[in-house]
């Protein structure tokens, strides 16, 4: 929210200067967890950095790098996060922004977690796709493994029509549980809007809403794990992506939503790119994140016209065709326009 301009930011000053280890009876940090959804694009595949869950635990699901926030050790939430990520994966975070603070939902079921966090503060970090060097732990996994229905790069993913749509339709038929306040939108409408059913347009930013809908409908593995009412009723519940521990998949969904939204009005794609790149590579990266294919010539016009990039003068050969000019991010746009970004709008991809 407040870091659009500086990009890399907020050093960790006088580290833990005021952190004597005395007052131990008071442990105020207990209950505040920090989670990082670290995103990169590797070989046109958007990936997130995850740590394999404890293989002894049932399920052995993945987790995002996380840890408790201790204000005696870290002056800011962000520095605490950076320290945890560094210790758990060896990675030094670049760009990071806060996402959302969740009150843990499925915390009863988390036997393997040491700290019973009351709230977890999710962060989104964007970084370049460095292979595995610098990584002491953790692995990059395509975010579409957790959310296969979000991958529209090869058209509408089959899983929607085959596994999701019929079950959501069935779920919409069942009456909602009696709660004092009904949600103001009916189940059927929510399903239609979230998943672009019945001719409704697909909105690539509704990643979180879609996952929450699947969770509520008892179709996500996490819903079963948490003992959600209705989750056990499915006799033929399909596998809808890899589950994660605790509410980490929800945090990742929020991260994808935010990335997809923000890429359009802030020049954050360049956090994912190497210093020099061709416009085609840039386009492929945007498409990896957003899904639908963009018109190449218009993409060029857009990006160049907005002053987001400048040619380096070099060309990249071996592209299988005419050599492509290399470009770099023009940092000065930040000083010029109020909200520069890759203003792409998806083609009218109905259903």
Partner DNA sequence: CTAAATATGCTCTTTTCGAGCATATATGGA
Partner DNA sequence: TCCATATATGCTCGAAAAGAGCATATTTAG
Residues in the site for DNA, rule: CB under 7 A?
278-280, 295-298, 300-302, 315, 317-325, 343-345, 347-348
Pairing of strands 32-42, 66-68: antiparallel
Least distance CB 295 / DNA (angstroms)? 5
DSSP reduced 3-state for 80: helix
205 binds its own copies (CB under 8 A): yes
334 binds its own copies (CB under 8 A): yes
351 binds its own copies (CB under 8 A): no
Closest to its own copies by CB, 2 vs 297, is: 2
- CA 92/CA 105 separation, integer angstroms: 29
Contact set for its own copies, span 211-230 (CB under 8 A): 212
First to last CA, the chain: 33
Closest to its own copies by CB, 128 vs 142, is: 128
- Are 152 and 291 in contact by the 8 Å Cβ rule? The answer is yes
CB count within 10 Å of CB 92 equals 10
The partner in contact with residue 166, picked from DNA, its own copies, none with C-beta cut-offs of 5 to 8 angstroms by kind, is none
The partner in contact with residue 347, picked from its own copies, DNA, none with C-beta cut-offs of 5 to 8 angstroms by kind, is DNA
- CA 312/CA 157 separation, integer angstroms: 38
Q: Is the dihedral of CA 150, 154, 157, 161 positive or negative?
A: positive
Using only the alpha carbons of the chain, give its radius of gyration: 22
E runs forming strands in 81-223: 95-103, 119-126, 139-142
45 binds its own copies (CB under 8 A): no
Which window, 155-163, 168-176, 206-214, 313-321, contacts its own copies (CB under 8 A)? 206-214
119 binds its own copies (CB under 8 A): yes
- CA 233/CA 160 separation, integer angstroms: 20
Closest to its own copies by CB, 26 vs 114, is: 26
111 binds its own copies (CB under 8 A): no
Residue with tokens 């991958």: 151
| Binder among 52, 58, 60, 76 for its own copies (CB under 8 A) | 76
CA distances to 74, 126, 192, 193, 216 from 209, rounded to whole Å, are 33, 22, 12, 10, 10
Closest to its own copies by CB, 184 vs 297, is: 184
Least distance CB 239 / its own copies (angstroms)? 24
| Binder among 38, 75, 217, 237 for its own copies (CB under 8 A) | 75
Least distance CB 75 / its own copies (angstroms)? 8
Closest to its own copies by CB, 131 vs 199, is: 199
The partner in contact with residue 280, picked from DNA, its own copies, none with C-beta cut-offs of 5 to 8 angstroms by kind, is DNA
Alpha-helical segments (H) within 21-149: 77-89, 143-146
345 binds its own copies (CB under 8 A): no
- Are 67 and 116 in contact by the 8 Å Cβ rule? The answer is no
By residue count, the chain amounts to 351
| Binder among 19, 103, 170, 176 for its own copies (CB under 8 A) | 103
| Binder among 254, 259, 283, 285 for its own copies (CB under 8 A) | 254
- CA 232/CA 185 separation, integer angstroms: 24
The partner in contact with residue 189, picked from its own copies, DNA, none with C-beta cut-offs of 5 to 8 angstroms by kind, is its own copies
Q: Which two tokens stand for residue 215?
A: 């969770």
Least distance CB 318 / its own copies (angstroms)? 33
CA distances to 145, 326, 328 from 41, rounded to whole Å, are 14, 18, 17
Give 133's contacts (C-beta < 8 A, 6+ positions apart): none
- Give the footprint of its own copies on this chain (CB under 8 A): 1-2, 4-13, 26, 28-32, 69, 71, 75-77, 98, 100-101, 103, 116, 118-119, 121, 179-181, 183-185, 189-190, 192-193, 201, 203, 205-206, 208-209, 212, 254, 257, 331, 334-335, 338-339
């Amino acid at each position: 929210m407040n870091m659009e301009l500086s990009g890399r930011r907020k050093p960790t000053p006088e580290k833990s200067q005021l952190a004597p280890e005395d007052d131990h009876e008071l442990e105020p940090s207990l209950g505040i967890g920090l989670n990082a959804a670290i995103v990169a694009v590797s070989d046109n595949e958007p990936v997130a950095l995850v740590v394999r869950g404890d293989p002894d635990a049932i399920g052995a699901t993945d987790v995002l790098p996380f840890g408790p926030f201790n204000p005696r050790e870290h002056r800011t939430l962000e520095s605490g996060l950076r320290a945890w990520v560094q210790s758990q994966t060896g990675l030094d975070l670049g760009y990071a922004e806060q996402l959302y603070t969740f009150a843990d939902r499925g915390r009863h079921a988390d036997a393997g977690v040491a700290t019973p966090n009351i709230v977890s503060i999710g962060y989104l970090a964007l970084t370049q796709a460095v292979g595995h060097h610098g990584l002491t732990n953790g692995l990059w996994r395509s975010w579409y493994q957790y959310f296969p229905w979000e991958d529209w790069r090869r058209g509408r993913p089959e899983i929607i029509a085959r596994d999701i749509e019929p079950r959501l339709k069935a779920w919409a038929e069942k009456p909602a549980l009696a709660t004092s306040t009904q949600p103001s939108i009916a189940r059927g409408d929510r399903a239609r809007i979230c998943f672009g059913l019945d001719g409704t347009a697909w909105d690539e930013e509704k990643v979180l809403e879609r996952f929450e809908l699947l969770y509520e409908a008892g179709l996500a593995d996490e819903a079963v794990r948490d003992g959600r009412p209705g989750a056990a009723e499915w006799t033929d519940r399909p596998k809808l992506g890899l589950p994660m521990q605790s509410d980490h998949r929800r945090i990742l969904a929020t991260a994808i939503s935010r990335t997809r939204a923000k890429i359009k009005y802030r020049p954050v794609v360049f956090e994912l790119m190497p210093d020099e790149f061709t416009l085609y590579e840039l386009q492929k990266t945007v498409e990896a994140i957003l899904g639908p294919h963009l018109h190449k010539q218009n993409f060029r016009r857009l990006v160049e016209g907005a002053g987001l990039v400048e040619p380096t003068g070099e060309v990249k050969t071996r592209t299988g065709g005419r050599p492509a000019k290399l470009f770099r991010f023009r940092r000065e746009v930040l000083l010029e326009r109020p909200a520069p970004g890759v203003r792409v709008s998806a083609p009218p991809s109905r259903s």
